[in-house]
Amino acid sequence: MVKKWLSNFYLALVFLFLYAPIAVLIIFSFNDSKSTGHWAGFSLRWYQDLIQDSRMQSAISTTVIVAILATAIATIVGTLTAIGIYKLTKKTKAFVLNVNYLPIISPEIVTAVGLMMLYRSLKFNFGFMTMLLAHIMFCIPYVVLSVLPRLYAMNPNMAEAAMDLGATPMQAIRKVVIPEIKPGILAGSLMAFTMSIDDFVISYFNTGNGVSNLSIEVYAMARRGIRPTVNALATIMVALVLITVLTANKIALKNKKEV
Amino acid sequence: MILVPMFLIFLYSIIVPNNSGQLAFNFTLDNYREVFTPIFLNTLRSSFVIALFATVLCLVIGYPVAWIISQFPPAKQSMLLLMFIMPMWINMLLRTYAWINILSRNGVLNTILVFFNIAPLDLMYTNFAVILGMVYNFLPFMILPIYTAIIKVDKSLIDAAHDLGAGSRQVFTRVVLPLTLPGVITGVIMVFLPAVSTFVIPQLLGGGQYMMIGNLIERQFLLTGNWHMGSAISMILMLFIFLSIWLMKKFDSGGNSGGALPW
Amino acid sequence: MKKLMTIMGLLTITLLGGCSNSDQEVLNVFNWGEYIDHEVLDMFGEEFNVRVNYDTFDSNETMYQRLKAGTTNYDVVIPSDYKIERMIGEGMVQQLNFDKIPNLQYVDPEFQNLVFDPENLYSIPYFWGTVGILYDTTVVTEPVDSWSILWNENYVNNVYMYDSQRDSLMVALKLLGYSLNTRDVNELEAARELLLDQRDLTNPVYVTDTVINSMIAGNSALAVVYSGDAAYIMDENPNMNFALPKEGTNLWVDAMVIPTDAGNVDLAHEFINFMMRPDIAQMNTEYVMYSTPNIKALEAIQNEEWTQNVAYNPSKQILDEINLEMYRDPGDFLNEYDKIWTEILAESR
């Protein structure tokens, strides 16, 4: 059918658009020159560089750990917050929602500086914990944004019915509400993870004592041209995700066949 | 059970006074007066226009993508979705630099064009480059919410519409679109907001002279150290954003946006 | 669900726990991005058995904000001349104990006792350089000796200006024959008009660090660059050459200082002294390719090709001929500069 072919073609086009720069990044990770201005021949030196660069590696691990932790915590807190907001009266609800969305609406630098001043007044030691806290704080609104619509789409009587049948509130939430809003939670955590893993401004202002994440390192390198070591990293990341997705897909297919 | 979220919301409100702490100084309206110059208003206006343009583009490109993905078997859907989100996990700065690499005079695109004897294009530091950068960076933010909304739509409704004799176009405009409107609105917000306040993309792809409101704010904070000015501009920006969202809410008069928006 | 939580909890604790090496002394250094050979940091850490925390900034202003915010107690910071002047004035840096820095003997006296630290009590120079015109010799065939070439309509769409308030204003001010530290609003406004004219004549693009890769790729005919960047670009792209304009330009020096609230002052002194050791200074300048004030290090690399250009190593003659001025702290006048600068950039395209 023409329609199927057309739609697949369109998808492929957009796909191409999204991955064009990634392809360029991957190609230049094999470039035998520090600058991305010209091609100087094939080389694996940047991969070697990556293995030897302990500073980069600690930045990478910080980024990943913060992203995973922040996403996990923000998802839990965000979901609970969403449920809480759902139950509020109209007036308080509007106010609370406004506050909740403040981090999304504000320019990043305003959130960054605001959080920094908050932590400073609380006399926190700047470093890993402040970065993590800051990430959690700006991830929560995204989770709430994703979960709330699902809450509203859910039949409000289901939770009531469950409790009438003898379930405790916690049980009602866990066994009735959460499965209903699961897509929203997943989408929210995906968003949170994406925002966290790539964050620069907020991280930069809320860290210290040598704790750095990938974005900060890349930004620092930008002054003299980003070393292709980062390209090598990007290539590895892409490869990892691809492999994970393909394997997961294979497993899913296998499971289907077995059933 | 309700206490936990309430406490966290309280934590949030602490952030607000911190911003307001700076704003206390702004209550001398001096800053605001300085801000309301023609240059500033021009910048604000053009930022909104560019961001709007990029948002519309994202919508036009992204909606079909979300739709097509939703038509695949469910197992494939998550895989496809992941593939579309994945570029966002690669550092944004890195990806934008890659675009510079592609669009530059002696960049990848022109190298390919020249190879096929086509005249090279001078695309860097233009409106085109900046909008391209925005669409590129924010497209997944549009696709995800729309996709979430599409899969919520009860398939039987679509079938019923077909059964009742509606053509494909009618089915779309009268059944699917209204039902997925909440997702569209979320997507639009998720793209428009960062687009209007971003500074990295216009700075790298447009050059320093391509001044958008995000750049203005960033310069105030980082270069001049004039946080009062920066806060004043941010407040005004946020005001305009609230206004636009409120307008959009009017659009969606049925209150269909799933209650996620407070207005 | 519960299992997952406990596992994550344990993971966090072990990771966080494993992160602290509390038996070692720690040195916190705050420097420009890509402005040091990291191997040097590793060597210092090994020799003195300490851990070096290295944070970076991309502008003097960001550095200043972070320092004022006090979120980290840095032991050594490497700002630029005019910012140091301000920091000295505000008591943000402490006097150095020169008994602990014997390697000062290797530092060229030309770079000591400069305007921002007249008695050289607070700082040790780190790198220095100038600002000049980088040009593509295959495109620009006429002699390059004046800032006015950047206004030459023949090079329309082929000019990069630097997205830095003081550097771009400097170009216009020098062309008009004014000081780059002027506090005369009329002179500033004249500079603004000149720069706005430039936008009509050659439509320059205001770039920052992207200029380096861009010029290596040959994307533009002319660019305003720092001498250190020029040295690197010229090394990668032999078509490029560098010139210092006759109207004069800026001479800048980045120097090491110790903030007043430094945690480990002795170690800070050790670090500064270490950086001035000839072999270390040599490693550093070879990696970063910015001009070093260290006499012995400079001698050692005389034979290398890339050191023989006017960007890295301008001859004494040139330095005497050209009017070189250092930036001073503009104080509150910065607001005026800023207003003018915003007006220049934000003029509708």
When pLDDT is cut at 50, 70 and 90, the band that residue B138 belongs to is very high
Please check whether residues C244 and C265 belong to one and the same domain: no
Of C157, C165, C199, nearest to B223 by CB-CB distance is C165
Does residue A47 sit in the same domain as residue A131? no
Q: Is residue C169 part of a domain?
A: yes
Q: Which of B106, B209, B221 lies nearest to residue C345, judging by beta carbons?
A: B209
Tell me if A13 is assigned to some domain.
no
| Mean pLDDT, rounded, for B199-222 | 83
- In the block, tokens 């981090």 appear at A103
Mean pLDDT for C286-303 is: 89
Q: Given B106, B209, B224, which is nearest C334 (Cβ)?
A: B224
Domain around C106: 24-128+253-306
Residues with Cβ within 8 Å of residue A233, at least 6 apart in sequence: A50, A56, A60, A214
Pairing status of strand C222-226 against strand C76-77: unpaired
| H or E stretch covering A169 | helix A169-172
Q: Please name which of C100, C186, B4 lies closest in space to residue A173, comparing C-alpha atoms.
A: B4
| C235 and C322 assigned to the same domain | yes
Cα gap C36→C42, rounded to integer Å:
11
Looking at residue A1, what is its pLDDT? 58
Name the residue in chain C with its Cα closest to that of A61. Answer: C15
- C219 neighbourhood in chain B, CB within 8 Å: 104-107, 124
Mean pLDDT, chain C, as a whole number?
Answer: 87
Does residue C145 lie in a domain region? Answer: yes
The residues on B that touch C, with CB distances below 8 Å, are 39-40, 42-43, 46, 97, 100-101, 104-107, 122, 124-125, 203-204, 207-211, 216, 219, 221-226
Q: Are B192 and B19 in contact (CB under 8 A)?
A: no
pLDDT at B205 over 70: yes
> Does position A170 have pLDDT exceeding 70, yes or no?
yes
Higher pLDDT, A180 or A202: A202
Q: Does one domain contain both A173 and A254?
A: no
From CA C272, how far away is CA C258, in angstroms rounded? Answer: 9
**Whether residue C147 is found in the same domain as residue C39:** no
pLDDT tens for residues A121-160?
777 778 888 899 889 888 888 888 888 877 777 777 777 7
pLDDT at position B9 is 54
* Residue C97, number of CB atoms within 10 A of its CB: 12
Name, in order, each residue with C-beta under 8 angstroms of C149's C-beta and a sequence gap of 6 or more. C133, C135, C140, C142, C155, C222
Residues A159 and A211 in one domain: yes
Distances (CA, A) of C125 to A137, C22, C128: 42, 32, 8
What chain A residue is nearest to B261 in terms of C-alpha separation?
A97
**Which of the four pLDDT bands, split at 50, 70 and 90, describes residue C16?**
very low
The beta-carbon neighbor of B225 closest among C61, C204, C205 is C61
Contacts of A216 in chain C (CB under 8 A): 56
Q: How many other CB atoms are there within 10 angstroms of residue A244's CB atom?
A: 11
Residue A180 lies in a domain: yes
Q: What is the mean pLDDT of residues B226-255?
A: 69
pTM of the model: 0.83
Residue A203, token pair as written in the block = 């991280």
pLDDT in tens, A67-111: 999 999 999 888 888 887 777 777 777 777 777 777 777 777 777
Of C32, C84, C91, C34, residue with least CA distance to C62 = C32
The mean pLDDT value of chain B amounts to 78
In whole angstroms, give the CA distance from residue B21 to residue B23.
5
Count the domains in chain A.
2
Residues A211 and A108 both lie in one domain: yes
Angle at A198 between CA A197 and CA A204, to 5 degrees: 105
Subunit contact B223:C59, Cβ cutoff 8 A:
yes
Q: Identify the CATH number of the domain in which residue C226 sits.
A: 3.40.190.10
- Return the percentage of chain A with pLDDT > 90, whole number: 7
Residue A157 corresponds to which amino acid?
Answer: N
Write the DSSP symbol of residue B109: H
Chain C residues touching residue B107 (CB < 8 angstroms):
217, 219
Q: Long-range contacts made by residues B172-176, C-beta under 8 angstroms, separation at least 24?
A: B176/B150
Q: Are residues C160 and C177 in the same domain?
A: yes
- Per CATH, the number for B40-251 is 1.10.3720.10
Residues C316 and C298 in one domain: no
Which residues of chain C make contact with A34, given a CB cutoff of 8 A? 236
Domain for residue A4, yes or no? no
Q: Is B183 exposed, middle or buried (0-12, 13-18, 19+ CB in 10 A)?
A: buried
Contact C206 B209 (CB under 8 A): yes
- What is the domain count for chain C? 2
Cβ separation A37–C214 shorter than 8 A: yes
Specify the DSSP class assigned to residue B76.
Answer: H
In a domain, A251, yes or no: yes
**Chain C contact present for A65, CB below 8 A:** yes
Are residues C240 and C149 both part of a single domain?
Answer: yes
Residue predicted with more confidence, B240 or C100: C100
Arithmetic mean of pLDDT, C106-135? 91
Query: What size, in residues, is chain B?
Result: 263
Scan residues 109-168 of A and list those with Cβ closer than 8 Å to C. 116, 119-120, 126, 128
Q: Are residues C103 and C244 in the same domain?
A: no
Mark yes or no for CB contact B42/C348 under 8 Å.
yes
pLDDT given at position B225: 66
Q: Is residue A234 included in any domain, yes or no?
A: yes
Using only C-alpha atoms, chain B has a radius of gyration, in whole angstroms, of: 22
Q: Are B8 and A79 in contact (CB under 8 A)?
A: no
C205/B209 touch (CB, cutoff 8 Å), yes or no = yes
Q: How confident is the model at residue C274 (pLDDT cuts 50, 70, 90)?
A: very high
- The two beta strands, C205-207 and C124-136, are unpaired
pLDDT tens column, B23-60 = 544 445 556 666 677 778 888 888 889 999 999 999 99
Is residue C47 domain-shared with residue C102, that is, in the same domain?
Answer: yes
Q: Residue C97: what pLDDT?
A: 92
pLDDT at B75: 78
A28, A75: one domain: no
- Higher model confidence: residue A83 or residue C105? C105
pLDDT in tens, A188-208: 888 889 889 888 888 888 887
Domain that holds residue A27: 18-52+228-259
Cβ–Cβ under 8 Å, residues A109 and A201: yes
Residue C69's pLDDT band, with cuts at 50, 70 and 90, is confident
Residue C6 within a domain: no
Compute the CA torsion angle A212, A215, A216, A220 (nearest 10 deg).
Answer: 140
State whether A143 and A179 are in the same domain. Answer: yes
B175-181 mean pLDDT: 83
A29 shares its domain with A99: no
Mean per-residue pLDDT for C314-339? 82
Query: Which residue does chain B place closest to A15, by CA atoms?
Result: B84
- Alpha carbon separation from C186 to B124, B143, C173, C248, C337 (Å, rounded): 35, 53, 11, 20, 12
pLDDT of residue B20: 46
C331 and C270 in a common domain: no
The model's confidence at residue C171, banded by pLDDT at 50, 70 and 90, is: very high
Residues A192 and A131 in one domain: yes
